[in-house]
Amino acid sequence: MGGIGNPTEGRGLDYPYFITTEPVIVKKIVLPKGTKLTYEEQLFKKGQQDRIMNEKKLTNIELPKGKTSTGKSWG
């Protein structure tokens, strides 16, 4: 049963994700355009989404190759 709960291995689940189209603040971090945000498995939500989802369901942040966070916003 390897890979259960792991979005990159196992049963081939299509976790919902969103790719930012402009810089955005998520979890108090400024992320650059092109960042991939992956979320928990959700009913009726699979693959790429057309809008950002609730950050409470966020499981992974993948910055674009060669990019770093554009700053931080500690509030």
Residues 6-29: pLDDT tens digits? 554 555 679 999 999 999 999 999
Residue 1 is assigned to a structural domain of this protein: no
Q: What is the domain range of residue 50?
A: 17-67
pLDDT reported for residue 73: 47
Residue 50 is assigned to a structural domain of this protein: yes
The pLDDT-based confidence of 70 (bands split at 50, 70, 90) is low
Residue 51 is assigned to a structural domain of this protein: yes
Residue 75 is assigned to a structural domain of this protein: no
Domains in the chain: how many in total? 1
What token pair was written down for 70?
A: 């554009």
50 class by beta-carbon count within 10 Å (0-12 exposed, 13-18 middle, 19+ buried): exposed
Measured in whole angstroms, the distance separating CA 52 from the mean position of its chain's CA atoms is 9
Residue 3 is assigned to a structural domain of this protein: no
Residue 41 is assigned to a structural domain of this protein: yes
Residue 9 is assigned to a structural domain of this protein: no
Tell me: pLDDT of 34 over 60. yes
pTM of the model: 0.73
- Rg of the chain taking only CA atoms, in angstroms: 13
Residue 21 is assigned to a structural domain of this protein: yes
